Amino acid sequence: MSEFLLERQWYAVSPDGERAELILGIAAPVKDHLDWGCTVSLGILDSHPSRIYGVDSWHAVQQAMLFIARRVTHFSEAGWLFYWDKDGGPASPADLIGSGLCQLT
């Protein structure tokens, strides 16, 4: 069983041609003192998990999803390519939050 409440599996190709499965994950929100926080994993893109906070659990998950989408956008702009799976079509950072819902910048 995964440690993540939410998980997206993609396939990634680095700018130097390395290919690997990419697992993006968000752990269930937990109340930390006064705020709610989610641990976020960017898989092979960043080996250090991040903690993203919100005013309530819903907001923490929203902020975590936006954080991942922004970081994946950064990697995409740096030359990384993303696919739905190893033999699948191209995936976009906007696919992580749904088109038209909000801007990544």
User: CA 44, CA 47: separation in Å to the nearest integer?
Assistant: 6
Report H helices in 1-105.
57-77
- pLDDT tens for the chain, 105 residues long, are 468 999 999 999 999 999 999 999 999 999 988 899 999 999 999 999 999 999 999 999 999 999 999 999 999 999 999 999 999 999 999 999 875 445 554
Q: What per-residue confidence (pLDDT) applies to 2?
A: 67
Instruction: Write down the pTM of the prediction.
Output: 0.88
Provide the pLDDT for residue 92.
94
- Name every residue whose Cβ is closer than 8 Å to that of residue 1 and which is 6 or more positions away in sequence: none
In the prediction, which pLDDT does 74 show? 97
Phi/psi of residue 49, nearest 5 degrees: -65, 155
The reported pLDDT for the residue numbered 36 is 97
Which residues make Cβ contacts (< 8 Å) with residue 69, sequence separation at least 6? 93, 94, 96, 97, 104
